[in-house]
Structures are given as C-alpha cells and as structure tokens.
Structure 1
Amino acid sequence: MTELLLVRYFAGARAAAGVPEEKVEAATLADLVATVTADRPRLAGVVTACSFLVDGTAWRDRDAALPTAATVDVLPPFAGG
C-alpha cells in the first residue's frame, strides 16, 4: 500500500486550494502539482510562483522521487520582510 503525502498550503495557496491541507498520492513533485491542480485552475495559477518544502527542506527538482509519507509545504511568495 502506498502511503499518502501530506500537502499543507499557506497564504494565497491555501485560499486557492480551498483547504489548509490534504493527503495526496504522488511519486514526484511534478505528479503532486498535477494532481492538486487538476480541477483547480486558480491553484494552478498560484503554484507556478510557489516554493516547496519537503519535510522542511527546499525542493526544486520536480522530477526527483519524493520520500514516503513526506510533508510537502506549498509556499507562495511573501511580501515584506
């Protein structure tokens, strides 16, 4: 049985997703993005500018295999600071 990834959305990504978090089955970040945006055009527009953390580490390679049962944070650009 494949374990699901926990996807947590922050700020504008949360508003576009319509949920604060969800469980998703995906092998790579590219798969995850395709899955969560399939029926959410607003979220699809937001994630193009997002950064991703996988278990707290910045994840840039969308084709690399994700760790089993990882937590993926979807972070849109933040203003200020």
Structure 2
Amino acid sequence: MYSYLKRKRNEEVIPVFLSFLKGLTSLQKIETTILDFEEAKSLQSQFNLPWSIWDDLVIAAQMKRLNIKEVNSKTKTLTKSYG
C-alpha cells in the first residue's frame, strides 16, 4: 500500500490509513514473510516478469500461500494480465 500511496504522492495519509485498518476488526490482516519474498522472486524468474511489479509479485506469493484464487476489484492494475 505504501508504494501505491507514494506513486500517487499521498504518503501523508498513511497514518490515517493505518488507523482505519486497525479499526476494521473483522478484516483479517496477514504478515509478509521472507518466504513470500522468495516466492515472489521465483514467480518473477519463472514468468520473466518485470521487477517494476515487485509489489504485485509479493501479493501473488501471499495469495498462493493463503490459497486465495481470486481477487474482485475495479482497479485496472489488479485485472491487468502479466505473462
């Protein structure tokens, strides 16, 4: 999320966003592990993907670990197909 906010030049909203997340008690929050980073690197290599999508690769690795098969979003970057 930080990378997204930084690209949009909205870093100053990070404290507000974190407070908002803490308030969503029904939202499951997960941790990023070193294994997620290793899996992201593996995905990048396996599919010859650009390093510019590193954040997406880490999210994909987390999804794989958590057995999440689908994301519903109106965000165009999430629906873009790589590879």
TM-score (norm 1): 0.28
**Between Structure 1 and Structure 2, whose CA radius of gyration is higher?**
2
Structure richer in helix, relative to its length = 2
Whose relative contact order is higher, 1 or 2, with alpha carbons under 8 Å and at least 6 apart? Answer: 1
